[in-house]
Amino acid sequence: MSLQAQLQLHPTSFLLWRRLLEESPTEENYQLAYIRTQFDVTNNYKMWGLYYKHCTTKIHDAANLDHLWLQQLQIPSLDYESLLNDYSRFVSDHFGEQYTDKMKNILQIKKKVTQILEKIEPWEMRRQDKSPEYWIGYLKALHGSKVLDRVTKNRLIQCTVERSLSVQVFVPVVQTYLSFNLEVDEFAFWERLVQIEPSNAEVWIQCIRDCPLDQFQKIRSQFNSYSDLNLIPVFCEILRIELHLFKENPAVAQPLLIEDTYNYFSRALKAGDIFHTVAKLCIEIQEDIGDIDGVRDGFLLPFLEAFDNQAEVWLYVTEFEKRHGNYRHVTDLFKKAMDIAEKLDWPERLAAEWKRFELLKGTDDSQEYCDEVCKLALSRIKGQKRPFLESELEQKPEGPQNKKRAHEDTSETKPRKPKTETRDREHLTILVANLPSSIDEKGLTSIFSSCGKIRSITLLEGKATIEFTDEQGLLSAMKKDGTIVEDSPIEVVHLKNNTLWVANYPPEKTAEDLKKIFGQHGGVLAVRLPSLKTNVQRRFCYVEYSSEQDAASAVKALDGHTIHGKTGDFKLTVKISNPEARQERKGALEEGRQVYVSDLDFYKVDEDKLSEIFSKYGDIEMIRIPVRRDEKSKKLNNGFAFISFRSSSDAVKSLELDGKLLAGRPMKIELATPKKKKVSVLGTGKFDRARTISVLNVDDKINTETLKAIFEEIGPVTQIELQPENNAALIEFETVRSSGMADFKFNGRKIGDTTVRIGTFQDFLRLKRNKT
């Protein structure tokens, strides 16, 4: 974009005007630059310096220059004191004998400007904020000021809103500005804003709504020219306007509708609209127009091809055929869907809907055929074996399970503990979108509590996830799709196959770190870390995405991806979370499928070497080689590794390598044995009390590596003892000074999901005694 074009979008930008004056220092450009930036209180002093220097090359009369100075001195500037000093030198140089009189004459001007600056400076001191609330407050303060004359007030407001636009186009800020009625042509103003920030859906929508009817096709064509912009709300707004026009003048509006429905439909499919709002809207508009065959070929077939794994899409298409097709059309669709039941996110729902349709429209034979097809399809799913089991580090409680009691409960015996209810987030969670900003957890509960028992609600920006305790509650909640909440329909979608199980990431990574990594591949709703109370060796997490497509994209990109950690490189394991697999199996370690290999050469053995030798005994699921690296060390391992096979028999067969040479050294190989640790110690475990603090109310999902990384903000940490069961830790620093700073720096600070307290070594011991 040319410099002139940029100045059309940002007419008060000091940086752009300075560049233009460097390229083209004409009289007209100097005049425009000075006038346009005159009330930018942060930069007008710099522009005055450029303008005044230019004027001195043309004006040699001191009286005329003095007139320019007096004009400038009436304009507020954050550098006003510097401006006064410059004027003082000017007067001293050119009006020596009149110096005292002239300086007295400007005292009234200075008093007025100082009053203005007293109103402005508190807001300017907060200008790093840059939030919409800041700009709205600033604009309202200027508009309500009693010390500003009308011209100064309006110019300051206009320059301030232009400064906000250089940060970001905030629609509420623009609406506040426009409420002051300073713009002659508000639509022209919105037109400029969509050019400043063409990816801002809110700006486009406001521009379209404020657009005069005779300008609609112009702004529509302008938006459509941005072929890479897939802004779902804008598609909906343009189609809404065109539908309104269609009712008044079908001949004019129908060509626009047909063109835009095809255009927006194809763009929406690429955009990953999880609710398919635009796709469904385009289909229903074409349906109203009456081109039924065109809908089938141009819309429904591509819709199914793009989302053939989504039961809701199949049901949507079957509903269309119920309205416009015949019995055979509907049953053929159900049959095609059940043929790929393994791909579907909710095959049980499709099976139930087909059976209901057959009860209403079918015969005894067709019902029997439907039952057979559905039964076969669902049995195929039930019998599927997953290629990977996510419970690699999951531990079950110790002790006998489900043993029959030797005697009946009496008043002298302890009552049975209630059975812990199994959670199934992966199948019993919905995503609610298009929520008003005022909605809270109580409001959501009032809307969805009638559907069934709610286990949890998580509020997000404009969205929320709601987990139910059973499938009936989920199915009832799905019917709330389209419910009007504060004049806007909410959207409800069943979240499935959107949660990832992630393991083998660097131990110092926090939930926020992981959210940044996985957020590069789609919208992350949450990152959940496991409790370490029963086993501090756990290192896995769950990453929830807002759509199945984003989750699949992350698996493709990150499974096997190497991440650099403080102790070496880690190859991520990323899979779609599968609760059934978690219940059926525990993991390689617990099932005897993992071997422990030790006495390895530090510098010659890597993952490829181990894979080459051990893969002869069976399929390898994972090789984990812990290694601590620094700039000087070239070690490939720490002398040992863990190798997980697909089957326990393969792991046993690999034991015959015990004592065999690898890189000139005999290996030691044995089956790995699970060890539950409730305490994690980094160091010798012998603490110097003078350099040691206790950290209380520690989040039970925080590990030692994360604590070390956090507390080393104030100095090197030499030892840590973490006790998640007691929500406490001991941390020893390298110096007494660092331990003394800990209370000031960390007491009352939120780490993870809890606010920690800093105590002494004795506080830690006292806590242990009280818990035992």
Q: Which backbone phi and psi does 693 adopt, to 5 degrees?
A: -120, 160
- Residues 21 and 756: their CA atoms lie apart, in Å, by 56
* Pairing verdict, β 491-495 and 429-433: antiparallel
Calculate mean pLDDT across residues 401-419: 40
CB under 8 Å to 110, separation ≥6 — which residues? 73, 84
> How many residues are recorded in the chain?
772
**pLDDT for 681:** 77
Quickly count: other Cβ atoms within 10 Å of residue 26's Cβ.
10
Cross-strand bridge partners of residue 750: 755
- Residues 248 and 241: their CA atoms lie apart, in Å, by 11
**pLDDT for 238:** 94
**pLDDT for 426:** 77
Q: Does domain 429-495 have CATH number 3.30.70.330?
A: yes
- Residues 418 and 423: their CA atoms lie apart, in Å, by 15
Mean pLDDT of the chain: 86
**pLDDT for 680:** 72
Tell me which long-range contacts 513-516 makes (C-beta under 8 A, separation of at least 24): 514/541, 514/543, 515/543
Calculate mean pLDDT across residues 747-770: 83
- With a pLDDT cut of 70, the percent of the chain lying above it is 90
Q: Is residue 41 within 8 Å of 77, Cβ to Cβ?
A: yes
Calculate mean pLDDT across residues 615-625: 90
Give the model confidence (pLDDT) of 412-428 as tens digits. 334 444 444 566 777 88
Highest average pLDDT, of 127-136, 201-210, 525-534, comes from 201-210
Q: Does residue 120 sit in helix, strand or coil?
A: helix
Q: Sign of torsion, CA 422 424 430 435?
A: positive
How is residue 453 written in tokens? 């028992």
**pLDDT for 763:** 82
Which class is domain 680-771? alpha beta
Quickly count: other Cβ atoms within 10 Å of residue 648's Cβ.
15
- Residues 498 and 227: their CA atoms lie apart, in Å, by 29
Give the model confidence (pLDDT) of 568-602 as tens digits. 788 888 998 876 555 444 667 777 889 999 999 88
Q: Report CA 404 to chain centroid distance, whole Å.
A: 49
- Residues 441 and 692: their CA atoms lie apart, in Å, by 41
- pLDDT greater than 50 at residue 407: no
Nearest CA to 170 among 124, 216, 223, 132?
132
Q: Is residue 613 within 8 Å of 689, Cβ to Cβ?
A: no
- pLDDT greater than 80 at residue 114: yes
pLDDT grade for 629, boundaries at 50, 70 and 90? low
- pLDDT greater than 90 at residue 223: yes
C-alpha distances (whole Å) from 276 to each of 221, 444, 640 are 23, 23, 51
CB under 8 Å to 27, separation ≥6 — which residues? none
- pLDDT greater than 60 at residue 403: no
For 458, the enclosing helix (H) or strand (E) is strand 454-459
**pLDDT for 410:** 37
Amino acid at site 609: K
CB under 8 Å to 482, separation ≥6 — which residues? 489, 490, 491
Calculate mean pLDDT across residues 228-235: 86
- With a pLDDT cut of 90, the percent of the chain lying above it is 51
The DSSP call for residue 670 is E
Nearest CA to 291 among 253, 332, 316, 262?
262
295: left (phi > 0), else alpha (psi -120 to 50), else beta? alpha
CB under 8 Å to 677, separation ≥6 — which residues? 535, 536, 537
- Residues 683 and 650: their CA atoms lie apart, in Å, by 36
pLDDT grade for 42, boundaries at 50, 70 and 90? very high
- Residues 466 and 491: their CA atoms lie apart, in Å, by 13
Calculate mean pLDDT across residues 285-305: 92
pLDDT grade for 669, boundaries at 50, 70 and 90? very high
Nearest CA to 655 among 637, 641, 670, 643?
670
**pLDDT for 484:** 78
Q: Which string of DSSP letters, residue by residue, matches 51-118?
A: HHHHHHTT---HHHHHHHHHHHHTS--TTHHHHHHHHHHHHHHH-STTHHHHHHHTHHHHHHHHHHHH
How is residue 132 written in tokens? 């919409």
How is residue 500 written in tokens? 């990832």
Any alpha helices (H) in 449-520, and if so which ranges?
471-478, 511-519
For 468, the enclosing helix (H) or strand (E) is strand 464-468
How is residue 390 written in tokens? 């996510």
Q: Is residue 159 within 8 Å of 40, Cβ to Cβ?
A: yes
Torsion angle (degrees, nearest 10) of CA 279, 280, 285, 289: 100
- Residues 303 and 296: their CA atoms lie apart, in Å, by 10
- Residues 732 and 92: their CA atoms lie apart, in Å, by 66
Q: Is residue 322 within 8 Å of 315, Cβ to Cβ?
A: no
- pLDDT greater than 90 at residue 624: no
Q: Which backbone phi and psi does 318 adopt, to 5 degrees?
A: -65, -35
Q: Which backbone phi and psi does 652 adopt, to 5 degrees?
A: -65, -45
Q: Residue written as tokens 């199914």?
A: 304
CB under 8 Å to 628, separation ≥6 — which residues? 567, 568, 635, 638
C-alpha distances (whole Å) from 283 to each of 260, 279, 332, 434 are 12, 6, 20, 21
Calculate mean pLDDT across residues 42-62: 94
Q: Which backbone phi and psi does 478 adopt, to 5 degrees?
A: -60, -25
Out of 208-217, 473-482, 510-519, 577-586, which region has the weakest mean confidence (pLDDT)? 577-586
Give the model confidence (pLDDT) of 321-348 as tens digits. 999 999 999 999 999 999 999 999 889 9
Q: Which backbone phi and psi does 489 adopt, to 5 degrees?
A: -75, 130
- Is residue 593 classed exposed, middle or buried when 0-12, 13-18 and 19+ CB atoms within 10 A define those classes? buried
- Residues 414 and 417: their CA atoms lie apart, in Å, by 9
How is residue 63 written in tokens? 């009286």
Q: Quote the pTM value.
A: 0.53
Any alpha helices (H) in 559-694, and if so which ranges?
579-584, 607-614, 648-653
Q: Sign of torsion, CA 47 52 53 54?
A: positive
Q: Is residue 278 within 8 Å of 238, Cβ to Cβ?
A: no
Q: Report CA 637 to chain centroid distance, whole Å.
A: 36
End-to-end CA distance of the chain: 71
**pLDDT for 423:** 66
Calculate mean pLDDT across residues 73-94: 94
- pLDDT greater than 80 at residue 393: no
* Pairing verdict, β 488-489 and 484-485: antiparallel
Q: Report CA 163 to chain centroid distance, whole Å.
A: 27
- Residues 473 and 159: their CA atoms lie apart, in Å, by 54
CATH number for the segment(s) 591-673: 3.30.70.330
